[in-house]
Structure 1
Amino acid sequence: MNHIEYEKWMLYATDSLDEKTRMHFENHLYSCDHCLELYLQAVEEAESQMPVLSDPSGFTDSIMKGIGSTQEKQPPAKMKPKKNIRKQTLVHYTAAAAMTLVLMSTGIFSQLTTTVSSFENAAYKQDHSVISGWLNKTDSITEKIEDNLREGNKHE
């Protein structure tokens, strides 16, 4: 197996390689323990070469203040005026009741029940005819078998 040199792992750790080479190195790490150890050493050395923060809490505070100042610059969101929920609910119930009365007065519900029952009757008739046809066929087959048996008994 070809191992990748430590210097190249240093370039990888400092993000100095192109994307294609980075992908090749990452795939190589999955199968090579020796190169994984070299990579970990390179990361540790690259970490030691990075600048150290003199005041980490001060750095965090300055970042948080910067975030706060960017939030203050945004215009306040427009608030929609709240509608009276009870009034809105009452309007919906009234509209539903009115539609129900209109549909009942036109007879749409009674027409709906007759339509449903006609569908049920058609489905029953269709099922009934299929079952009847199947029974008739099995009955005729049974009769043919019995006739053949009778004829066989007569010839013996």
Structure 2
Amino acid sequence: MKHFKYDEWLSYVKDDISDKAREELESHLYTCDQCLEHYLQAISEHESSLPVLSNEPDFTDLVMAKVSKQKAAVEKPASLKKTAASKKPFYQQAAFHYLIAAAATLLLTFSGVFHSLATYASAVEAPKHMKEKRLSVTDGVIDKTFAWMDSLEKKEANKK
């Protein structure tokens, strides 16, 4: 991660940088705590040179009034929202979908479909003729060891 120097943050605070550099610094500021510290130091050192609001309470009230006007213009009134929700047919409601899913699950469970699927899956997973032929590694080693020991006993018996 590329970090920016204190001088670059100072230029940012003084507004002595290009728009492209400003965007890069701003996007980096969201992800880097170290650079945020440099930025806050630059602001605190040059706080006196930053513009001062002459009438802070009025400024805040004006901004909040504009925000509420824009919010009201973008959002639908509450009465329209309620009527839109109540106009949905019953089959488009989420509760109806959950009820159908629960009913289908109960029907399939009590009819034995899930049990037959489980039986079919286990049959497909390992056929019977494959199970009988497969030996574990340990069983194979033991069988070979006994066969070897039997052959040694036969050889000893033949020598006598």
* TM-score of the pair, normalised by structure 2: 0.47
Give TM-score scaled by structure 1 length: 0.48
Greater RCO (CA < 8 Å, at least 6 residues apart): 1
Larger Rg: 1
